[in-house]
Structure formats: structure tokens, C-alpha cells
């Protein structure tokens, strides 16, 4: 009886799920990839057990002060091609709405994201020079100058902030160095790292094409959101740079899809007071972070939390969602 009363008195909560990649990559240093099989199981469980709504509907309910318990919205960040090829058919199969937050620079020029380039160079180059200066420190690779093709067998998934060997330490140090840079500075530094590694040609995860994004945007199930022009760590930059990054992104997506994005996801969850001023000035309706907190009536529309979904099967995924919803 007491548990029943406590549940009646407990504030209603909803959750926003955050995805990036669908597939099974060679390595996954940020635990961002969900296999196609597990993603299918996750979506099947969602549509059978929770109230799945479009992000826009959830935001409307938040602003109206009406959060309905067990509501969930699905989002994707960055705009990887696998979102279109693998995730889209599964979402359509279960009738699940989703919002895709798109960074336009890589979509327009066909380039890969710098962190994927660094992953390929640092983690998968068979031979590298003995050392490199990165993020203010000298990194000596020691006996990991040379690695075999099976070097990552059994260790493909790890958390980059907790390196497990010299190659993963190299990746994380370079990632830290690149993060605060402007995109032109990143391009220059990436060219230097490629020259150091003698790696200029390789295959990494691609962004979806303009045609794929246009097709995605024409589907009533899906919404396109803003994710800046070049995916900078916004809080590391001036208010002028932040304004340019977000405005450029909004203009590009409007020109391509015919719709002005109403929501933004802050790249890597990086934002500050200047960011909040910019998104308000540009007329956006809501902003999403990477802070793992549920949505309640107290949630600020421009600081909505999200939960990163990992490569879990049905049982683990259902446990996590139930936990996040406070059940």
C-alpha cells in the first residue's frame, strides 16, 4: 500500500535516448555503436512497453507542464550513413519517431569526422613512429609502435577516458587536443598527424549523403535537428563563433530540407551561457545535452538531458530504461 501511494506522489518522468552509430565497428572507444540486431531488439521492446513519442511532442508536453510517465523519445547525433541504411528501416518497421541531429560540414564535403580519422590512425595503423607530441605531452608508443591485425580482439569496446594500452592512450591524447580547436585548426593538425603516421588513404564511417538526408526529412516519422556546422566544443569558443556555427547549420538544413530545425543537440554536450543566449536569439525551441537525467516538469527546455544507449540486448536495455524512468 505504501509503495502504491509513493508511486502516486512521485513526479512523472520521461526519458530521451541518445544514439550515434548503428553497426559493429572494429573498435568503439566511446561505446557509441549499437549492433543492428540489438537496435532491433531495443526498438521492439520500446514500442511494446513504453509510450514512444516524437521529441517535438515531448517538448510540447514539457512546456505545457504535463509530463506523462513512461514517455520516451529517440534521438541520433552527427548524421552517420548507418543511421539511414540500418536504423531507418528498423524505426519504420516499428513506427518509432526519431530526431536526427545533423552536422552539415561533413555532409557537404564528404569528409569523415576527425575523431574517426584519429581512431583509424591511432588504433589501426600497423606501424607508427616511436613517439608524437600530443596535447602538451610526448607519447612514447614503446612496443606498440607495431601491432598485429588482431591487436583489438577481445578489447574492441572500451571507454576512451580510461586507456587500456599505449595505442588507446595515443587516441585519447589526440582527441583531447583536437576537441577545443576550430575546424580549420583541426584540419591542419589532422594533416600533420596523417603525415606523421604515413596514413592518407583508409576507410572510416561515413556521413549520410545530401540525398539520403533529404529522403529522411521527407518521412513524417522523422525530424531533423541542428548539431552545428562543424561539431565544435561550443563552450571553448566565443559567442560570435557559436552564433556562426549554429546559424550556418540552421541555414544549411533549411536550404536542403525546406524546414527550419526547431531543436539543437549541443555537440559532445558542450555548452555555456553564451550558447543559451545564441539559441534563444536564433529562435530555437529546445536544446539537448548529454547529461544523463530524466525529463520532469522542472526540466529547462534548453537543458534537456539524454541517456546514451550502448550495445545492449533486450534484457539489459529494458533494465536500463526502467531504471532511468525511476520505476
Q: What is the pLDDT of residues 301-326, one digit of tens each?
A: 999 999 999 999 999 999 999 999 99
Whether residue 283 is predicted with pLDDT greater than 70 in this model: the reply is yes
- Specify the pLDDT at position 106: 87
Q: How far from each other are the two terminal CA atoms of the chain, in whole angstroms? A: 16
Section 164-183 average pLDDT: 96
Q: How many CB atoms lie within 10 A of CB 10?
A: 11
What is the mean predicted confidence (pLDDT) over 39-45? 98
Burial of 87 (0-12, 13-18, 19+ CB in 10 A): buried
In the chain, what percentage of residues exceed pLDDT 70?
Answer: 97
Cα dihedral 35→37→42→43 (10° resolution): 110
Spatial separation of the C-alpha atoms in residues 221 and 216, rounded to whole Å: 9
Residue 1 has pLDDT above 70, yes or no: no
Task: Identify the weakest region by mean pLDDT among 48-57, 121-130, 151-160.
Answer: 151-160
pTM equals: 0.95
Q: Which of 182, 178, 171 is nearest to 234 (CA)?
A: 182
Per residue, what are the HEC states of 267-320? HHHCCCHHHHHHHHHCCCCEEECCCCCCECCCCCCCCECCEECCCCCHHHHHHH
The H or E element spanning position 265 is strand 263-265
At residue 271, the pLDDT reads: 98
User: Is beta strand 137-140 parallel, antiparallel or unpaired with respect to 131-134?
Assistant: antiparallel
**How far apart (Å, rounded) are the C-alpha atoms in residues 89 and 217?**
14
Give the CA radius of gyration of the chain: 20
Burial of 137 (0-12, 13-18, 19+ CB in 10 A): exposed
Other beta carbons less than 10 A from residue 282's beta carbon? 16
**Planar angle of CA 283, 286, 287, nearest 5 degrees:** 110
Q: What is the pLDDT of residue 4?
A: 43
Find all residues with CB under 8 Å of 7, minimum gap 6, and list them: none
Placement of cell 577516458 in the chain: 161
- Which pLDDT band, with edges at 50, 70 and 90, does 11 fall under? confident
Region 22-33: mean pLDDT is 96
Helices (H) and strands (E) in the chain, counts: 13, 12
Mean pLDDT, to the nearest integer, of 209-225? 97
Q: Where are the alpha helices (DSSP H) in 179-295?
A: 183-197, 210-217, 239-257, 273-281
Cα-based torsion angle of the residue sequence 217, 219, 225, 227 in order, rounded to the nearest 10 degrees? -60
pLDDT digits (tens, 9 = 90+) for 192-204: 999 999 998 898 9
Kindly indicate the confidence band of residue 327, based on its pLDDT and cuts at 50, 70 and 90: low
Mapped onto helix, strand or coil, the DSSP state of residue 124 is helix
Q: How confident is the model at residue 111, as a pLDDT?
A: 85
pLDDT at 2 over 80: no
What torsion, rounded to 10 degrees, do the Cα atoms 26, 152, 112, 223 define? 50
Residue 3 has a pLDDT of 47
For CA atoms 263, 313, 31, 150, the dihedral sign is: negative
| 318's grid cell | 529494458
Cα dihedral sign, 206-122-233-57: positive
- Tell whether the model's pLDDT for residue 5 goes beyond 90: no
92 band by pLDDT with thresholds 50, 70 and 90: very high
Amino acid at each position: 500500500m505504501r509503495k502504491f501511494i509513493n508511486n502516486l506522489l512521485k513526479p512523472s518522468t520521461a526519458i530521451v535516448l541518445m544514439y550515434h552509430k548503428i553497426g559493429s565497428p572494429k573498435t568503439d572507444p566511446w561505446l557509441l555503436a549499437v549492433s543492428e540486431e540489438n537496435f532491433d531488439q531495443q526498438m521492439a521492446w520500446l514500442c511494446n512497453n513504453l509510450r514512444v513519442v516524437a521529441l517535438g511532442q515531448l517538448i510540447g508536453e514539457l512546456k505545457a507542464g504535463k509530463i506523462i510517465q513512461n514517455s520516451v523519445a529517440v534521438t541520433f547525433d552527427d548524421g552517420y550513413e548507418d543511421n539511414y541504411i540500418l536504423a531507418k528501416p528498423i524505426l519504420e518497421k516499428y513506427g518509432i519517431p526519431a530526431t536526427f541531429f545533423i552536422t552539415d560540414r561533413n555532409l557537404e564535403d564528404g569528409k569523415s569526422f576527425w575523431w574517426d580519422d584519429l581512431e583509424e590512425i591511432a588504433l589501426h595503423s600497423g606501424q607508427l613512429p616511436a613517439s608524437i607530441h600530443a596535447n602538451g605531452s610526448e607519447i612514447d608508443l614503446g612496443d606498440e609502435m607495431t601491432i598485429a591485425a588482431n591487436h583489438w580482439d577481445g578489447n574492441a569496446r572500451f571507454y576512451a577516458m580510461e586507456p587500456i594500452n599505449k595505442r588507446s592512450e595515443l587516441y585519447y591524447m589526440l582527441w583531447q587536443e583536437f576537441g577545443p580547436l576550430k575546424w580549420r585548426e583541426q584540419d591542419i593538425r589532422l594533416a600533420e598527424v596523417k603525415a606523421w603516421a604515413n596514413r592518407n588513404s583508409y576507410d572510416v564511417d561515413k556521413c549520410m549523403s545530401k540525398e539520403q538526408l533529404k529522403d529522411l526529412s521527407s518521412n513524417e516519422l522523422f525530424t531533423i535537428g541542428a548539431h552545428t556546422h562543424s561539431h565544435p566544443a561550443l563552450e571553448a569558443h566565443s559567442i560570435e563563433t557559436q552564433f556562426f556555427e549554429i546559424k550556418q547549420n540552421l541555414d544549411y538544413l533549411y536550404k536542403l530540407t525546406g524546414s527550419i530545425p526547431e531543436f539543437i543537440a549541443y555537440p559532445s554536450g558542450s555548452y555555456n551561457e553564451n550558447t543559451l543566449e545564441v539559441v534563444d536569439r536564433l529562435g530555437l525551441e529546445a536544446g539537448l545535452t548529454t547529461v544523463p537525467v530524466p525529463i520532469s516538469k522542472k526540466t529547462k527546455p534548453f537543458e534537456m538531458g539524454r541517456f546514451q544507449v550502448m550495445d545492449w540486448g533486450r534484457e539489459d536495455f529494458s533494465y536500463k530504461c526502467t531504471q532511468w524512468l525511476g520505476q
